[in-house]
Structure 1
């Protein structure tokens, strides 16, 4: 289980005295606990690994946005801190699909659904997310689906 892997990595980082890594791993654990609390009232709770992956993906997206803003604002020290956290987060995410693999998956789904116009974008995106959400950057995929349908 991914949750156990993160706990073991936290213990290892603490024993090694790596304060930055320990802090990042504790941040990940705190976010996962927050999501656990949210799931208590959810109509349809997520599977455990799916919950952890979804949480990590959201955290990674936040870090990428922060890095971009800090770099644009000339705050390189804060950007470096965010990059270090992003590296730790990405260690636990499944390997992302390449652009070629993503475009092939989009074309396959388009063919299956008979999608040929922008009206079908929602259906294609929904199916893409259902099949590949854990290994796909949905932000980039959205642009590629839009290109493919136009």
Structure 2
């Protein structure tokens, strides 16, 4: 009998994000990559923290792929801000360590959309929601977040949506 992971591979479907992270964590342990292992443990801890928070709200199944992608996105933003602060403070060694963590986290994110693809996605979302004014911005952003979680920077997309709806 095939394990669920082997069955998924046999069917050609990609491993889910949690499985990829767990597999990478095990590999880092075996190869004694301390920095990578530390970052992977932080990722795992953030996911488990969110799962525990949901259990407290009565939701047993844990977080989905979209929420895991959102957690990874937040981790990258935090590290980018830290790296910038370390550079301004003259601590280039700490800034480099933050960038190394960013590289590990980015391994688990899907390919980022190009500017042209983001513009097309915004136009499609506006057309699908029938958005006509700035009041409809929330609906447009909701569609984009549901479909493109982890694939675009919503901090940069927000002003583009606002501009098109103005």
Say yes or no: does 1:4 pair with 2:23: no
CA drift of 1:46 comes to 5.8
Say yes or no: does 1:61 pair with 2:77: yes
TM-score by length of 1: 0.87
TM-score by length of 2: 0.80
Higher helix proportion: 1
Say yes or no: does 1:74 pair with 2:94: no
Runs (5+) with no aligned partner, structure 2: 1-15
Distance between the aligned counterparts of 1:59 and 1:15, measured in 2? Answer: 25
Runs (5+) with no aligned partner, structure 1: none
Q: How does 1:1-150 map to 2 (within 5 A)?
A: 1-42=16-57, 47-150=63-166
CA drift of 1:43 comes to 6.3
Change (3 A) 1:88 1:106: same
Distance between the aligned counterparts of 2:34 and 2:126, measured in 1? Answer: 47
What value does the CA root-mean-square deviation take over the aligned residues?
1.9
Spell out structure 1 runs of 4+ moving beyond 6 A: none
